[in-house]
Every structure is written in structure tokens, then in C-alpha cells.
Structure 1
Amino acid sequence: MSEKLDLLFRAPRVITAAGEVARSVGVRDGRIVVIEPLEADLEADQVIQLGDDEVLLPGLVDTHVHVNEPGRTDWEGFASATRAAAAGGVTTIVDMPLNSIPPTVNADALAVKRKVASDQAYVDVGFWGGAVPGNVPDLRSLHDAGVFGFKCFLLHSGVDEFPPLDPDELELALKEIASFGAMMIVHAEDAHAIDHAASPGGENYADFLASRPRGAENLAIAEVIELARWTGCRVHILHLSSSDALPMIESARRDGVKLTVETCPHYLSFTSEEVPAGATQFKCCPPIREAGNRELLWQGLADGIIDCIVTDHSPCTVDLKRFDIGDFGVAWGGIASLQISLPAIWSEAKRRGHSLIDVVRWMAENPAKQVGLNTKGHIALGYAADFAVFAPDSAFVVDVAKLHHKNPVSAYDQRALAGVVRSTWLAGKRIDLEEDPRGRLLSRGMA
């Protein structure tokens, strides 16, 4: 190299397209420009020598984060969420169109959100648009303004300002979105099935689980698949919790339906059998299901039916979890895990024989691919110099009081996890949470 590099990692262990290898990785102007053997003769302004216990990973991409700002900034916010992301090795997030006020259902609301986020982001931030009753005319303008796709619910979202679509409204929205080649992401639970299920009230988790039966999820996913087949729209199933749906997802893909699927760390980490009475920190929708279901989700990942793992980080204030009464029926549903998603998944993945190569595919490569971030998710020439330095053989016990999430509530509190993120790098510079934030606001199509 005739020109000096800005940054050089000398890493005995790097996750690349060639697998886990020893490499020198060089950066200039925020991009990876050199990948050479470990002892290559290279010079840089800054040289980072990683230890044998450290692995250089691409920065993770979390496409399912509820930042909640503006409007519910006491639940979370761009500063706290992106600090947590950076501390957890996540260099890119895509923010959901709710639970902010206003919800991101038109271009004006997107502009409000971008303005609020502009000087607070420690990592790169993109945005989803929302599809709600009556806003089909707004979808194209949101797309043109740079959202990565559109989210809808098929039942009450939990907040009144983001209502669900009925089947006819969903079909109209899918036709419109297909007309300009965008993607719909769907919270797939059937409202009628849940209306006829058991009451969710009380402190017994089994009662709450019965109130959100897997049949409601299966039915909704089947409906979405058929509408995607008819309209040709690209669809993505959010937070899959029911392993029953895996065969129909696989079948639809064989038929050519444009379908991708995610699941979340809590469905892969916890089981319904272990949730204590009144422990509403474990409440989420769809719910955490049985141990056998969890293992089938892991098999779905191994088989490539489930594409990616993202957090569905959905925090709230302590009082909304209703620890005073422990009632699953009235507590807010959502699990905060943005900062600890990598060790949470690595802890479970390695005991099932999976490698860091698998984890990177599920948590960086495939989420980036899903939303069209074509220079993220890999350590490869020309890609963004976004990295996480990870010590996979270290361990720690989660203490919610020490996390950067705004509120000290998480189902992972006091859980022992494997793997420690030692540093996170964005565009070739280490993220220092004591300095001013320098994350970018992303639009669809940005390199």
C-alpha cells in the first residue's frame, strides 16, 4: 500500500466470508480497504493488536428497535438506545414507527423523528414507516423519504395511535407497496383468534401464554403468506415465536413467495416453564413459549428457514411493568435487550454447536441484507468499517443497573452470559460514550 492507512487491526481471529481466519484489516476514510495476512507489511496511524481471546466481528445490525422518541422518551430515547447499542456491539439500528408520538405514518412525522434523532445517535440509525388504516396515500411519500419499509399490525398494537389493518386494508397496502418494490413487515397474530382465547389476567404465566395461543400466530402468518402470494409484495414476519409456522414458511418460499422471517433473543433464550409467577419482565407479544418450541426455533435457524435474529427491544418505565401486582394482563409487553443481544445469543448458540460465523450471519449479515444495507454486516473490501471486538470465552452476570437502557428492567437481569463486547467501532473510529455522538441517520439505498 503506497498510502498510509487510518486504522489497522491485527487480529488472530476475524469473521470474514472465508470463515474465522487470522488477518490484518485496514481502514481508510471509514471503509475497509485492505484485508491481508496477519503479518502483512502495512502501516497505519492507529494499529490495534487483538489478543488471542478476542474476535473481530462486523458491527451487528438490529432492524427491530423501539426507540420511542419523541412522545415516550421516558421509556427510551435515541441517546440511551444508541449508547446501549454501541455498548453491545451493534453499529446500526432501524427504529420502529411506534411507540413514538407522532407515529411514523407520513413524511411529516418522519421528519419530526429525524430532527429529534439527528444529534443524539451514537450508532447509525434508519427508520421504518408505518402502515395504518387510511394512510395508503402516504406510503409512497414515506418510501421516497427513505424509510426501509413499512410495519403493520393485524391486532391492537398496544397504543391507540397505531391501529391495526384488517384483511382488506392489508391487501390494499400490500398492493401499493408492491407497486414501488418496497417491503411490508408484519406483527402476525390474528385478532379474532386472540379475542376468543383465554383471559390474560393474573400472575400465572401459563394463563398469559394461553391468551396468546400459537394458533393465532399460525393463522395470521398463513393469511400474510397468501396475500403476499396474490400481490407479489415482499413481506417479512416479525418476531416469530411459534415453531408450528416453520413448515408453511418453508413451503411458501419454495413456491416463490417473497418472504423473510426473524426471531428474537428472548424466544431463543427463555422458556415458558421457567417464568416465575408475577415476573412481568418476561411479558412480550407474541409470548415466550415452551422449551420444545424453543429448540425447534433453533432448528429453524440452522435450516435457514429463519433468516435473522433481532431484539424487538421494547422497553418501558418500571411502573408500566406493574411489579406491584405482577399481573400479566395489565403489564406492558416488551423485553429490553439491545445491549446484551450478542452475549445472550452466543450463550445459547455455542451450547448447541453453532459458531460465531453462524451468529454473525444471523445478527449482522442477514439483517443488513434484508433492509438493503449493502455495505454493512460483513468484514469485506469496500464495506463500512463497523466492528465489534468480542471476547467469546469471557463471561459476566447481567446487572440492569449497569446497562445503558433508560429504565432498569430486563428479563436478563442476573442471568450469566458468555461473551463480552470489549469495544465497538463505527466508520473506522472507536465509539466513546463520553464523547459527542457521531452516528448517521440512514435512508434506504445509502451505501
Structure 2
Amino acid sequence: MSKFDLIIKNGLVILDSGEVKVDIAVKQGKIAAIGYDLGEANKIIDAEGLIVSPGMVDVHVHITDPGGVRADWEGYVTGTRSCAKGGVTTFVEMPLNQLPATVNADSIAKKYQAGKDKLHVDVASYGGLVPHNINGGIQELDQAGVAAYKCFMTTCGDPNIEGDFDKADDYTLYEGMKQIAKTGKILAIHAENGTIASGLAKAARARGETTLAQYVATRPVFTEVEAIRRAIYLAKITGCRIHICHVACPEGVEEVSKARAEGVDVTCETCLHYLYFVTDELDKIGMSAKCSPPIRDQAAKEGLWQQIFSGALLTVVSDHSPCSPGLKEKTDAFEAWGGISGVQNNVDIFFDEGVQKRGLSLKAFADLIAKKPAERFNLPTKGSIAIGKDADLVLIKPNSSYVLQAADLEYRNKFSPYVGRTINAQIAQTYLRGQLIYSLENGVVDKPLGEYIYR
């Protein structure tokens, strides 16, 4: 038997069939054997007392590289270092907030160049669906290897910034869905009724309202559900496979479940922050907790946890959407940037909240963070601990309490609503294709080992 590159021994390993105390052998970046007494290896890691999970596949992450006027938001180096530290080994990058937005062959080439030799984890890309790229841009992005597409049904981007993203009007959504259907790839959708939300916000501001709780009230549940229904109906007409992003209410998940039962090819995700925070605490936390759709009340939070346990949700993502500090340092919630920095803490907090506090099975945990999103977004070498898969592994130290400090964050701008929270699990080690990229003792490995994934 040839010597393996790495053997991880004595850990509780989450396989597709469930967890088992077993050893894993790695050869040339792939999982080569699973069992006992596997032989010799150049390096042997004793994972006694640790959970060995597939690395997270986060299908909703924003990196601002190339950044233009947003160059100080989040680059590939800090963004992917955050992923390595947090146990995220692969992510699918959104087509905004880079400049230019990723909407055609030229802009995606600039993105790939911007990330060259900077990636600490593997990165696949979304292509955008916007009004000005339905005459060839979708096909160019397909040929350039995007994993999926993304659009907004509500206001996005800045019309004063050249090359920024733009919302898809109803015709763009319909025509784009027809074209994307021919590629066989998925259209991920930010589904909110922006017209109603904007009108409610205008009225609130006229009344002098400024708090985060008042901001949340201008984006009620029905503005999310109505847009989800509209997206599903167009998907049914066009045959486009769709995925609803960051669903913040159980009613939205229910719409997706009903459509799936009727044969529509639709899935949905929620975000960790919707499972963790509630509206009543937002103003105490501050603008770092502002996002869209907004963080809702306790009933919505508990309803989303029920949907987690029912299996209705595909995955739990970070929607990591950082910005520069000045955009959050506002006293008026309607003026603050809407986005949460969270990718570094998706795995440890979800493990603590889901597995340790609520009894979510380890298999369901791994399915939600890795297996199901990898399968849905056509990343066949990712998502599972199985022979032949990439050896993307995260070793989790359970019942290991720490308080998150701003200094712990690898982000370019070190703020997050999770700062100050006690988390009762830690990422002990992260491996990308069998190579150590992070350890609790020594931090993130300096050499970037990540690669772009082309589909």
C-alpha cells in the first residue's frame, strides 16, 4: 500500500450515512480511504474529541474585489482568510458589490484576475441578471464557467456608480429566466417587493422614524412572500430552476415547499442571523445588524428553526455582505448600509445553536452546511466526506466556549453583530484539499491555496 499524504484519526466523522468514529486518509488532495488501520501517512492528526465535518459550502458570500470606490470593503485576501478561520472551504461569490458587477465576459475576467493568487479557499462565481445583459451577457457568463446566476427583484446598486449592479424589472426577470433555463443552471433571487418597501420607508421617514425596529416595520413579511410567489410563478412558466435567497420568514419557506410539491424546481436558504437575532435586540446591537430582508421577531425565528428541522430549507448561509465602517456609523437606520459581516462564524454558531442547543443531528448539520448546497449548485467534488471527494474538512471542538472579540475577525473591517457573543464551539482546524489552511493554535496559513471553480 502506498503511503498516504494525511490520515486523520479518532475523530467523530460525519459521513453521508451519519456520524461514526473512523479514520480518513487523504492522497493528492482527495479522500482516498475511510476505515481503520489505514496504514502509513506523511502526516497523522489525532482528532480525538473533535467532530470531523465536511467543510462548509457557503452559497451566498459577497467579496468586493475588484472594488473601485469600494476597494476598502472586503478583498479576496481578508474575505477568504475569514472563511478558512471559520471552516468555510468553498463559497459561491455574488456578482455584486464588485465594480464592475459580474454581468458579462469582460467583467468576470476582471474578477478572476483580481483574485489570482489571493484565495485561501475555493471560489465559484455567480453571474448577474440585469436589464442590460439579456442580449448575450447571460451566454457569455455561462461560457466563462459561472456556477449560477443572481438577480434582485428590489432596489440594489447605486445608479451614480458606473458598472454597478441593477435590479431586474419584471420583463428582465421573465426573459432572463427563459435564457438561464437553457443553460440548465440556477437563478438565485433576492425576493422582496421593493416598490412597497420603498413607499413604506418614505412614509416612515416623513414621520421622523430612524430606529432599526422602525426600519424592520417597513419591510413586512408580505413584501417578501409576494415576491417569492411572483418568482415561483415565472419559474413555472419559463422552466427556470430557481433558488430563493436569505428567506427571513417561515411563510416564505412554506411558499417554496408548496411549489416544490407542485413540481417546481425551487429551493431556498435562510441565514444564520435570522436564526440567531430578533428585532427587539437590534437597536441595542446597532447598525452592524441591519440587513435586507430584515431580522424579524421571535416567532419568525422559531418558525425558521422548525423549517430547519422539517428539512424544508436547502442550506443556512452567511450572506456575508461587508462594507466600510463609515457606512454603518449612522444614527438613522434608513441611511445605514444593509449587510451583515458573518462568514467567519457561520459554522461554529450554527453548530452550537443547532446541534448542541436544539439537538439537530450531525448528519442534518453537515447536509445543511455542505452536502445539499454542493449538490444543488453542481459542485460535485465538494460537500461530503466520501472517497474521491476533495478532502475539504473542518474539525470542530464542541463544548468549547469563547467570547468573540473584534480582534478575532479576519475581515478587513473588524465589525460584526456577533462580536461580544459567547459561542460554545470552536473551529480547531480547517483543511482544503487535504492541506491545513487554519488551526486554532497557529491561525490562518499565510500561503493562499484556494482555486477558482469553473462550471
Give the SS at the match of 1:431: strand
**Partner amino acid, structure 1, of 2:165:** F
Q: CA deviation at 1:203?
A: 4.0
Name which of 385, 389, 399 aligns with 1:383. Answer: 389
Residue of structure 2 equivalent to 1:423:
429
RMSD: 1.3
Asked if 1:306 corresponds to 2:313, the answer is yes
Query: Where does residue 342 of structure 1 map in the other structure?
Result: 347
Distance 1:366 1:405 in 2: 27
Return the offset for 1:247.
2.4
In the alignment, residue 32 of structure 1 is paired with which amino acid? I
| Separation in 2, partners of 1:155, 1:408 | 28
Match of 1:294? 301
Deviation digits for residues 46-101 of structure 1, max 9, x if unmatched? 1111122x111111111111011112231100000000000011111111100000
Paired with 1:320 and 1:145, the residues of 2 have a C-alpha distance of 33
Q: Tell me if structure 2 keeps the 8 A contact 1:277–1:326.
A: no
Query: Following TM superposition, by how much is the alpha carbon of 1:204 offset from its aligned partner in structure 2, in angstroms?
Result: 2.2
Q: 1: CA distance between counterparts of 2:71 and 2:18?
A: 41
Distance in 1 of aligned mates of 2:445 and 2:184: 41
Within 5 A, what are the aligned runs for 1:70-109? 70-71=66-67, 72-109=70-107
Q: 64-73 vs 79-88, which deviates more?
A: 64-73
Picking from 158, 167, 171, the partner of 2:170 is: 167
Counterpart in the other structure of 1:372: 378
Give the Cα–Cα distance (whole angstroms) in 2 for the partners of residues 346 and 436 of structure 1.
Answer: 28
CA contact (8 A) 1:388 1:423 kept: yes
Q: Tell me the secondary structure at the aligned position of residue 56 of structure 1.
A: strand
SS at match of 1:127: strand
Say whether the 8 Å CA contact 2:11–2:48 is kept in structure 1: yes
Q: Give the corresponding residue for 1:361.
A: 367
2:381 aligned counterpart, secondary structure: coil
Is the counterpart of residue 328 in structure 1 residue 339 in structure 2? no
1:423 match: secondary structure: strand
**Partner residue of 1:413 out of 393, 398, 419:** 419
Deviation at 1:42, TM superposition (A): 1.2
Q: Contact (CA 8 Å) 2:13, 2:21: kept in 1 or not?
A: yes
TM-score (norm 1): 0.95
Range moving further from structure 2, 243-252 or 109-118: 243-252
Cα deviation, residue 206, structure 1: 2.1
Contact in 1 for aligned 2:18/2:362 (Cα 8 Å): no
In structure 1, distance between residues paired with 2:285 and 2:45 = 47
TM-superposed CA distance for 1:149, in Å, is: 1.1
Aligned match of 2:441: none
Shift of the 51–203 alpha-carbon distance from structure 1 to 2, 3 Å rule, reads: farther
Q: What is the letter of the counterpart of residue 72 of structure 2?
A: D
Q: Which amino acid aligns with 2:451?
A: R
Instruction: For 1:3-18, list aligned pairs within 5 A.
Output: 3-18=2-17
Task: Name 2:47's counterpart in structure 1.
Answer: 50
Identity across aligned pairs (percent)?
Answer: 38
Correspondence for 2:401 among 388, 395, 415: 395
Report the counterpart of residue 247 of structure 1 in structure 2.
254
Distance across 2 between alignment mates of 1:41 and 1:443: 33
Contact 1:205 1:278 in 2 (8 A): no
Q: Is the 8 A contact 1:25 1:36 kept in 2?
A: yes
Q: Which portions of structure 1, spanning 4 or more consecutive aligned residues, are displaced by more than 6 angstroms?
A: none
CA distance in 1, matches of 2:38, 2:217: 62
Please say if residues 384 and 427 of structure 1, whose CA atoms lie closer than 8 Å, have aligned partners that are also in contact.
Answer: yes
Report the AA paired with residue 446 of structure 2: E
Q: How far 1:306 sits from its partner (Å)?
A: 1.1
AA aligned opposite 2:76? F
Higher deviation after alignment, 397-406 or 426-435: 426-435
Name the SS of the counterpart of 1:382 in structure 2.
Answer: coil
Describe the superposition over 1:187-217 as per-residue Cα deviations: whole angstroms up to 9, x where unpaired: 0001222133244654422210111111110
Match of 2:446 among 411, 435, 444: 435
Q: Could you tell me how far 1:434 is from its partner in structure 2?
A: 4.2
Aligned equivalents of 1:384, 1:353: Cα separation in 2 = 28
Match of 1:424, SS state, is strand
Does the CA contact (< 8 Å) of 1:64 and 1:313 recur in 2? yes
1:148 corresponds in structure 2 to: 147
TM-score (norm 2): 0.94
- Cα displacement (A) at 1:374: 1.0
Q: Secondary structure at the match of 2:268?
A: strand
Rounded to whole Å, the distance in 2 between the matches of 1:226 and 1:434 is: 47
Question: Aligned-pair distance for 1:312?
Answer: 0.3
C-alpha deviation, 1:117, in angstroms = 0.2
Aligned partner of 1:122 in structure 2 is 120
Question: Could you tell me which amino acid in structure 2 is paired with residue 215 of structure 1?
Answer: F
Contact 1:193/1:215, CA 8 A, preserved across alignment? no
1:303 and 1:392 mapped to 2: Cα distance? 24
Change (3 A) 1:302 1:159: farther
Greater Cα offset, 383-392 or 244-253 = 244-253
CA distance in structure 2 between the aligned counterparts of 1:242 and 1:56, rounded to whole angstroms? 31
Distance 2:402 2:210 in 1: 30
SS at match of 1:23: strand
Question: Does the Cα contact within 8 Å between 1:99 and 1:159 map onto a contact in 2?
Answer: no
